[in-house]
């Protein structure tokens, strides 16, 4: 006996994973790269494979640990992967690791600061190689954790986001875009973090509601409201709404404003952007530090005066305030203005949405910077047309609409970051102004060189790096080694599974880039998962202290328990609560399955000892037909559920079938009638069907049983079992009889009733033939033919004569319960009759429903008459 009394995941998981990995079963059956140089470029092996299944892992941070969201990701993706592997597809689950540009940079910079250094002491190449070493030191944790979660990915094909082929591909795309005129260098307002000294894309900015004092200040002839008095030094106009009657006379005039550094003059402009209702309907325009003002400045050709520098301090235009931080400057300016009587009033209850750096919380300043931009119009339009053409199926479906809506309003994408940790932008700027015929900027891949020479002209490297999303948007392309030259059977991916929170940042960009580079959508399906919330439905966060570490749960309950637990009750795209209880339920299922296998093996061993096993199986009684039917139903439902990404339903179905049907009814019946071959094949079917969700316990059992060669992980998905449907349906009668006996026994006064009273049947062939089974399942001591006039308590069964052999006194005590039962059945009968009285129902409802209703009436009537009969006897 290889089965211990309970399943101990810790004893099996590591060994099983190592055995899988060593055997190479995680690699796709079909070569991933065409090796033959046939005329059409297609590998011979490609031709023979019917189906491929490819899925990529959203790359976890290379130097981080996995969090609960990764746990969910792996549970989802690996279940899909294992299912398709069992289905016989050439399955390729490609793992990845993310250099996580800014995230990692922030961690590294913090380390640097702890040691009393700053990034500005080193050049980019030096910093890059230092971070590289830093990441290399930290790396590996997450890979071990992925293994612990059971991720059946092809480790040999792991893609790191800074791998050479990734950089190559990114440069190729960039070059193509540059040549296509889609890349431009622009001096525009960008979101800028003065702590990290880098620009951000719009999606990286975190807006928070804050109370910001709203100052009503005297501004020439006007009073205007502003939250940013310190930017006054950069004001180059003052604006009113062209329809505002209050200010008509001023439009176009130049006014003199009393300032803290003395008077200055600005022009009054009229612009639709001004909301007449807000404040006084007058706005000061600071084009260098506000997005709206910038646009107004473009419209009216205003001067741009920079007030805040890259370090977050006021520039020399602030005069005696220069050198102060923004915050200090604001206070000082307000104080001075108060002194001068320029502050009319202050609204301290004004709530403003303030942009923050999503990493350090520093207030983001709109800053005028030269950056590389992608003109996204064409990319977005192409993506929209393919989306509208339904080339990608979304789960949940509504995300497609959301995505299209986003793409329609997408602004040009700033891809420059001023941090060293990332892929260098392959652009060089002309250093020699005298070479007027040469272009100012040229593309070149030699980013390892600080200077290059071309046509005798010297060019200097741009020191910026790419936004990580620019390279990440190539993920399906680079992971599958897609090339222009060869047909790639793994591209497009079958599915992209990732978090709903990065629909815009990542999914949208993968679609645009996939189409731009390959002409095809990069994946056929998108499955988006929501956030994993804590048991109270609150977001997990370090500060709240409610973070659940997936590895703790894996250690405590096992990998399978975690996987089943986190999939429980989860549906696409929704933020949903998660608690240890669901993992406990998963652990219990694993243990149940273990003990089921333990019992089945002991029965089969006994059969083999007696030489009784035979193959193929036959079904010899109705319980056996029934379980075949139930398993078939279960497996086809699981197939449909997985193919439609209904993970919770799939695990739920398996849970019910294994526990409530296989263990509670079939195995109990097999204690009476043993069918060794059928026990084997049914157990194997259930093990295989559960394997995608619980890979370790099913493999551990499979190996312990050792009935079938090889791993369960690479066996064949179960085929349907043969059975007699009529016999299977008959078994439902047995289940009803047993349930009714149990219910009645439990409702009788006293305890241990099942041991006290036997069953009596009255010439009923179904009961007679299955009396041993009924006796065993209901746990009564005896079951006999009545042989005489009825006695005891009649069970509430419409089509069977069955009595509990209880004394007269107990029957009398049961009288009230019996009356209640008759009334309850009567109510049900009335409801059915009412339906039949409605001529519209009889005419319009489908015939089979009407028939069912009629049958129901007959059945209830029979039941009532039997129960009434009993009542009269009492």
Partner RNA sequence: GGGGAUUUAGCUCAGUUGGCUAGAGCGUACGAUUCACAUUCGUAAGGUCACAGGUUCAAGCCCUGUAAUCCCCACCA
Burial of 72 (0-12, 13-18, 19+ CB in 10 A): buried
Q: Which one, of 289, 294, 245, 233, lies nearest residue 270 by Cα?
A: 245
Least distance from RNA to the Cβ atom of residue 745, Å: 7
Rg (CA), the chain: 37
Quote the least distance from Cβ 208 to RNA, whole Å.
9
Under the criterion CB under 7 A, does residue 574 sit at the interface with RNA? yes
**Strand positions, DSSP E, 783-858:** 783-785, 793-794, 802-804
CA atoms of 830 and 822, how far apart (whole Å):
12
Residue 273 lies near RNA (rule: CB under 7 A): yes
Q: Does 541 bind RNA (CB under 7 A)?
A: no
Instruction: Report if residue 346 touches RNA, rule: CB under 7 A.
Output: no
Residue 120: which H helix or E strand, with range? none
274 touches RNA by CB under 7 A: yes
Taking the complex as a whole, the smallest distance from the CB of residue 588 to RNA amounts, in Å, to 4
Work out how close the CB of 292 gets to RNA at its nearest, in angstroms, rounded to a whole number: 4
Beta bridge partners of 226: 215
Residue 230 as a binder of RNA (CB under 7 A): the answer is no
For the window 663-692, what string marks contact with RNA as x by the rule CB under 7 A?
xx--xx------------------------
Task: Name which of residues 59 to 118 contact RNA (CB under 7 A).
Answer: none
Ramachandran quadrant class, 598 (left: phi over 0; alpha: psi -120 to 50; beta: rest): alpha
The residues with which 183 forms a beta bridge, in sequence order, are: 374
Nearer Cβ to RNA (524/735): 735
Environment class of 798 (CB within 10 Å of its CB; exposed 0-12, middle 13-18, buried 19+): middle
CB 240 → RNA: shortest distance, Å? Answer: 9
What is the C-alpha separation between 352 and 408, in angstroms, rounded? 27
Rounded to whole angstroms, the Cα distance separating 376 from 187 reads 17
Tokens representing 375?
């003109």
Nearest of 350, 206, 232 to residue 290 by alpha carbon: 232
Report the DSSP pairing between strands 90-94 and 465-466.
unpaired
Which window, 546-554, 569-577, 617-625, 768-776, contacts RNA (CB under 7 A)?
569-577
Exactly one of 21, 175, 202, 861 binds RNA (CB under 7 A); that residue is 202
CB nearer to RNA: pick between 486 and 739: 739
Q: Which residues, numbered 393-412, are part of the site for RNA (CB under 7 A)?
A: 396, 398-399, 401-402, 405-406, 409
Distance between CA atoms of 283 and 223, rounded to whole angstroms? Answer: 9
Taking the complex as a whole, how short is the minimal distance between the CB of residue 376 and RNA, in angstroms?
13
Residues 2-41 that bind RNA (CB under 7 A): 5-8
State in angstroms the smallest separation of the CB of 291 from RNA: 5
Nearer to RNA, 21 or 501 (CB): 501
H or E segment and range at residue 145: helix 141-148
> Which of 310, 347, 639, 828 lies at the binding interface for RNA (CB under 7 A)?
828
* Residue 569 binds to RNA (criterion: CB under 7 A): yes
Least distance from RNA to the Cβ atom of residue 177, Å:
22
Q: According to CB under 7 A, which residues from 738 to 777 bind RNA?
A: 739, 742-743, 746-747, 751-752
Q: Could you give the 3-state DSSP secondary structure of residue 251?
A: coil
Which lies closer to RNA via its Cβ, residue 436 or residue 752? 752
- Cβ 33 to RNA, closest distance in Å? 38
Q: How far apart are CA 447 and CA 451, in angstroms?
A: 9
Q: Which is nearer to RNA, 243 or 838 (CB)?
A: 838
- Buried/exposed code over 409-419 (b: 16+ C-beta within 10 A; e: otherwise): ebebbbbbbbb
Indicate which single residue of 290, 497, 560, 625 sits in contact with RNA (rule: CB under 7 A). 290
Question: Of 141 and 555, which CB lies nearer to RNA in the complex structure?
Answer: 555
Stretch that binds RNA, among 143-151, 161-169, 689-697, 826-834 (CB under 7 A): 826-834
Decide: is 577 part of the binding site for RNA (CB under 7 A). yes
Q: Is 576 helix (H, G, I), strand (E, B) or coil?
A: strand
- Determine which residue in the list 315, 393, 571, 708 makes contact with RNA, applying CB under 7 A: 571
Which residues, 783 to 822, sit near RNA by CB under 7 A? none
Task: Report the residue number, 344 or 574, with the smaller CB distance to RNA.
Answer: 574
**What is d(CA 237, CA 248) in angstroms, rounded to the nearest whole number?**
16
Task: Tell me which residue of 366, 263, 262, 259 sits closest to 306, measured CA to CA.
Answer: 366
Distance in angstroms (rounded) separating the CA atoms of residues 526 and 503? 10
Closer to RNA at the Cβ: 108 or 662?
662
Task: Locate 200 and state its tokens.
Answer: 């951000």
- Determine the interface stretch with RNA among 105-113, 254-262, 471-479, 851-859 (rule: CB under 7 A): 851-859
* Torsion region of 74: left, alpha or beta (phi above 0 gives left; psi -120 to 50 gives alpha): alpha
Residue 599 interacts with RNA (CB under 7 A)? yes
Beta-carbon count within 10 A of 770 CB: 26
Least gap, CB of 540 to RNA (angstroms): 13
Asked if 197 and 105 touch (Cβ cutoff 8 Å), the reply is: no
Site for RNA in 351-390 (CB under 7 A): 352-353
Binding of residue 649 to RNA (CB under 7 A): yes
* 105/665 with CB nearer RNA: 665
Q: Which of 155, 659, 673, 711 touches RNA (CB under 7 A)? A: 659
From the CB of 53, what's the least distance to RNA, in Å? 22
Q: Single out the residue of 138, 418, 555, 644 in contact with RNA (rule: CB under 7 A).
A: 644
Binding mask 714-743 for RNA (x = CB under 7 A): -------------------------x--xx
Instruction: Please give the C-alpha separations between residue 120 and each of 126, 192, 250, in angstroms, as whole numbers.
Output: 11, 17, 49
Please choose, out of 286-294, 368-376, 381-389, 608-616, the segment that lies near RNA by the rule CB under 7 A. Answer: 286-294
CA dihedral 774, 776, 778, 784 (to 10 degrees): 50
- Which of 112, 167, 533, 554 is close enough to bind RNA by CB under 7 A? 533
- Rounded Cα distance between 284 and 292, Å, is 11
The C-alpha atoms of residue 334 and residue 217 are separated, in whole angstroms, by 10
Q: Report the nearest approach of RNA to the CB of residue 584 (Å).
A: 6
**749-755 contacts at long range (C-beta below 8 A, 24 or more positions apart):** 749/810, 749/813, 754/778, 754/779, 754/780, 755/779, 755/780, 755/781
Is 661 a binder of RNA (CB under 7 A)? Answer: no
The smaller minimum CB distance to RNA, of residues 494 and 653, is found at 653
Considering only residues 488 to 507 of the shown chain, the ones binding RNA according to CB under 7 A are: 501, 504
Choice from 831, 862, 873, 874 touching RNA (CB under 7 A): 831
Name residues whose C-beta falls within 8 Å of residue 588's C-beta, 6 or more positions apart in sequence. none
Choices 12-20, 333-341, 682-690, 844-852 (CB under 7 A): range interacting with RNA: 844-852
- Between 96 and 287, whose beta carbon lies closer to RNA? 287
Site residue total, RNA (CB under 7 A): 102
Rounded to an integer, what distance in angstroms lies between the CA atom of residue 871 and that of residue 849?
33
Token look-up 């009545």 returns 786
**Which of the ranges 200-208, 517-525, 696-704, 726-734 carries the binding residues for RNA, by CB under 7 A?**
200-208
Q: Which stretch binds RNA (CB under 7 A): 226-234, 311-319, 413-421, 780-788?
A: 226-234
CB-count exposure of residue 395 (10 Å: 0-12, 13-18, 19+)? buried
Selected binder of RNA within 763, 838, 865, 869 (CB under 7 A): 838
Minimum distance from CB of 664 to RNA (Å)? 4
């Amino acid at each position: 006996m290889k089965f211990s009394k309970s399943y101990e995941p810790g004893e099996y998981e590591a060994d099983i994973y190592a055995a899988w990995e060593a055997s190479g079963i995680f690699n796709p059956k079909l070569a991933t790269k065409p090796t033959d140089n046939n005329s059409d470029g297609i590998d011979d092996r490609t031709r023979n494979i019917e189906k491929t299944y490819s899925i990529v892992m959203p790359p976890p941070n290379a130097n981080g640990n996995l969090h609960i969201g990764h746990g969910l990701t792996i549970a989802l993706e690996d279940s899909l992967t294992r299912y398709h592997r069992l289905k016989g597809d050439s399955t390729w689950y490609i793992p990845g690791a993310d250099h996580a540009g800014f995230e990692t940079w922030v961690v590294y910079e913090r380390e640097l600061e702890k040691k009393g250094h700053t990034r500005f002491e080193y050049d980019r190449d030096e910093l890059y190689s230092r971070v590289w070493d830093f990441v290399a030191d930290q790396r590996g944790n997450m890979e071990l954790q992925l293994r612990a979660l059971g991720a059946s990915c092809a480790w040999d094909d792991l893609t790191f986001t800074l791998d050479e082929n990734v950089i190559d591909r990114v440069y190729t795309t960039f070059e193509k875009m540059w040549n296509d005129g889609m890349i431009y260098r622009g001096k525009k307002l960008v979101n800028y973090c003065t702590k990290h000294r880098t620009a951000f894309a719009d999606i990286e900015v975190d807006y928070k509601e804050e109370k910001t004092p709203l100052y009503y200040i005297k501004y020439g002839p006007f009073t205007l409201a502003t939250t940013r008095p310190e930017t006054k030094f950069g004001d180059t106009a003052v604006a009113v709404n062209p329809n505002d009657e209050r200010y008509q006379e001023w439009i176009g005039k130049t006014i003199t404003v009393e300032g803290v550094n003395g008077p200055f003059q600005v022009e009054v402009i009229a612009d639709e952007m001004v909301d007449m209702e807000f404040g006084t309907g007058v706005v000061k325009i600071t084009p260098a530090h506000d997005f709206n003002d910038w646009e107004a400045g473009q419209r009216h050709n205003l001067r741009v005066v920079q007030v805040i520098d890259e370090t977050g301090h006021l520039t020399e235009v602030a005069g005696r305030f220069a050198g102060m931080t923004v915050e200090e400057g604001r206070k000082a300016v307000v104080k001075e203005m108060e002194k001068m009587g320029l502050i009319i009033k202050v609204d301290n209850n004004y709530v403003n949405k303030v942009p923050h750096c999503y990493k350090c919380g520093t207030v983001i300043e709109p800053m005028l910077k030269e950056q590389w931009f992608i003109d996204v119009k064409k990319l977005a339009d192409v993506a929209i047309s393919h989306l509208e053409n339904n080339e990608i199926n979304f789960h949940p479906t509504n995300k497609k609409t959301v995505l299209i809506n986003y793409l329609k309003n997408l602004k040009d994408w700033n891809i420059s970051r001023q941090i060293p940790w990332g892929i260098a932008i392959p652009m060089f700027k002309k250093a020699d102004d005298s070479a007027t015929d040469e272009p100012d900027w040229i593309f070149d891949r030699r980013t390892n060189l600080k200077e290059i020479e071309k046509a005798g002209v010297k060019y200097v490297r741009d020191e910026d790096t790419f936004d990580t999303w620019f390279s990440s948007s190539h993920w399906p392309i680079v992971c599958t080694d897609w090339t222009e030259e060869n047909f790639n059977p793994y591209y497009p991916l079958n599915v992209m599974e990732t978090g709903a929170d990065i629909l815009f940042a990542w999914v949208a960009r993968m679609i645009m880039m996939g189409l731009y580079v390959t002409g095809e959508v990069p994946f056929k399906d998108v499955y988006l998962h929501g956030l994993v919330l804590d048991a109270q439905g609150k977001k997990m966060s370090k500060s709240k202290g409610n973070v659940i570490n997936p590895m703790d749960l894996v250690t405590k309950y096992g990998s399978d328990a975690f996987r089943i637990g986190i999939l429980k009750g989860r549906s696409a795209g929704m933020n949903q609560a998660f608690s240890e209880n669901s993992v406990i339920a998963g652990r219990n299922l694993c243990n149940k399955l273990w003990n089921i296998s333990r019992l089945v093996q002991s029965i089969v061993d006994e059969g083999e000892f007696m030489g009784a096993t035979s193959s193929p199986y036959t079904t010899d009684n109705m319980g056996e037909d029934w379980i075949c039917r139930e398993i078939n139903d279960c497996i086809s439902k699981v197939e449909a559920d997985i193919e439609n990404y209904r993970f919770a339903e799939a695990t739920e179905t398996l849970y019910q079938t294994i526990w409530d049907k296989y263990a509670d009814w079939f195995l109990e019946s097999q204690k009476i009638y043993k069918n060794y071959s059928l026990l084997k094949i049914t157990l194997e079917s259930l093990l295989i069907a559960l394997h995608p969700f619980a890979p370790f316990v099913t493999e551990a059992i499979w190996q312990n049983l050792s009935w079938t060669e090889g791993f369960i992980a690479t066996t064949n998905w179960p085929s349907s079992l043969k059975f007699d449907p009529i016999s299977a349906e008959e078994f439902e009668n047995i289940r009803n009889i047993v349930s009714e006996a149990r219910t009645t026994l439990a409702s009788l006064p006293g305890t241990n009733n099942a041991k006290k009273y036997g069953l009596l049947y009255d010439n009923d062939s179904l009961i007679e033939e299955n009396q041993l089974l009924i006796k065993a399942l209901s746990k009564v001591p005896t079951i006999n033919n009545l042989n005489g006039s009825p006695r005891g308590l009649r069970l509430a069964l419409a089509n069977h004569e069955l009595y509990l052999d209880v004394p007269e006194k107990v029957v009398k005590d049961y009288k009230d319960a019996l009356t209640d039962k008759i009334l309850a059945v009567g109510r049900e009968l009335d409801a059915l009759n009412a339906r039949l009285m409605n001529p519209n129902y009889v005419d319009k409802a489908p015939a089979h429903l009407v028939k069912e209703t009629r049958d129901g009436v007959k059945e209830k009537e029979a039941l009532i008459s039997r129960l009434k009969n009993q009542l009269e006897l009492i």
